[in-house]
Amino acid sequence: MKALVLAGGTGTRLRPFSHSMPKQLIPIANKPVLEHVLSGIKDLGVTEIGLIVGDREPDIVDALGDGAGLGLSLTYLRQDAPRGLAHAVQVARGFLGDDDFVMYLGDNMLPDGVVEAAEQFRTHRPAAQVVVQKVADPRAFGVAELDADGRVTRLVEKPQEPRSDLAMIGVYFFTSAVHEAVDSIEPSARGELEITDAVQWLVARGSEVRATEYTGYWKDTGRVEDVLDCNRQLLDQLVRSVDGEVDEESVLIGPVSVAPGARIVRSFIEGPAVIGPGSVIEDSNVGPHTSIGGDVTLSSTHISYSIALDGASVSGVHAVHGSVIGRSAAVSSGDLVTRRHRLVVGDHTRIEVAA
């Protein structure tokens, strides 16, 4: 089995960060979303992966290389514009050949993994298998209708009156039968080749299409709020590890990870929290569910439930909460500020918070 990962989207909902970096590289618990995705695919025993990329290809190549460092073999496949998930399958036709494959959206986080779904696909080998989850409002999703044996009887994209609460969540398993399907459908009203239409084409022609219900944590990291929630979820699984320098006046409580080269000086850190390599935390308070990237500087600052990306600095600002501070961004204050602040600060930005 091979894998096809879609990482060509522009990420308009994640601005300002997506202006300067691919949305798939936003860090969750100090590791890019795309790296989490690739790790989940590796857990399936799949190491040959095609990455659909767009204009941000150089950034993704720079971050992942050929995949050898992750124990994977990556092939980059350029899609000239976002023309739909089924079009991505067409782009990857030469890479996929006649092999079975798993297709995975590159901004989806499923930390509990889809090993069970992969095992079911390998056992039954239907033409297609979709991964679904029950949602409160299915109208925003592609919805699967199933029979009593878990076979898909109908797929509907964003139905106004859904007859099922099972939403497709961005993981699909296919045999080579899907190639005829994607070549047989027409673009949707938004001008894209929809994978939902391709799978429905298989259903309509009597091919076996099955569904596996995923009951674990799932998040599409398309918005800042989703990124922070996902960061919280992953940090709740953190194991304490202190490899950096912590002075005698500092206190670390609970699961705190301090990377080699990081320094903690006269500070209080309450986990779960992760401090990246080369970062300096001085006279500061770091609260739960906070990820501090590499080479970050915190000085006289109180920050919690937040993410500070590589190279960021925050000085003299108290009560930073629910915030994302971009790469090499600087946030400072001339006076100590006691109000709570929620900041979404893009890369290389300078912000001064007034009292």
Question: What pLDDT, in 10s, does the model give residues 276-300?
Answer: 999 999 999 999 999 999 999 999 9
Residue 195 pLDDT greater than 50, yes or no? yes
Give how far Cα 236 sits from Cα of 113, 147, 176, 256, 270, Å: 16, 37, 39, 11, 12
CB-CB contact of 264 with 250 (8 Å): yes
Helix axes 57-64, 33-42, angle to 10 degrees: 60
Q: Does residue 26 register a pLDDT over 60?
A: yes
Q: What percent of the chain has pLDDT over 90?
A: 69
Report whether pLDDT(337) > 50: no
Phi and psi torsions of 337, nearest 5°: -115, 130
Q: What is the CATH number of domain 238-352?
A: 2.160.10.10
Q: Which of 5-14, 52-61, 182-191, 280-289 has the highest mean pLDDT?
A: 280-289
Distances (CA, A) of 242 to 23, 30, 257, 262, 289: 30, 15, 6, 9, 17
- 110-167 per-position pLDDT tens digit: 999 999 999 999 999 999 999 999 999 988 888 999 998 889 999 988 888 889 999 9
Q: Which residue do the tokens 């996902």 mark?
A: 230
- 70, 39 Cβ separation under 8 angstroms: yes
Q: Is 113 within 8 Å of 38 (Cβ atoms)?
A: no
Confidence (pLDDT) at 21:
62
Interval 253-275: pLDDT, tens? 999 999 999 999 999 999 999 99
Kindly tell me if the per-residue pLDDT of 338 is higher than 70: no
Residue 311 class from Cβ within 10 Å (0-12 exposed, 13-18 middle, 19+ buried)? buried
Residue 172 has pLDDT above 50, yes or no: yes
CA distance 223 to 34: 15
Token representation of residue 249: 């006046």
Structural contact between residues 246 and 273, judged by C-beta atoms closer than 8 angstroms: no
Indicate the domain borders of the chain. 2-223, 238-352
Cα 326 to its chain centre, rounded Å, is 17
For residue 184, pLDDT beyond 70? yes
195-204 and 177-184 helices cross at what angle (nearest 10)? Answer: 110
**Would you tell me how many other CB atoms lie within 10 Å of the CB of residue 242?**
15
Q: Across the chain, which distance is largest between two alpha carbons, in Å?
A: 70
> How much is the mean pLDDT over the chain?
89
* pLDDT at residue 82, as a whole number: 79
pLDDT at 251 (0 to 100) = 97
Distance CA 89, CA 97 (A): 11
Exposed, middle or buried by CB within 10 Å (0-12, 13-18, 19+), for 128?
A: buried
Residues 323 and 128: their CA atoms lie apart, in Å, by 40
Superfamily designation of domain 2-223: Spore Coat Polysaccharide Biosynthesis Protein SpsA; Chain A (3.90.550.10)
pLDDT reading at 20 higher than 60? no
Strands 27-28 and 31-32, by their bridges, are antiparallel
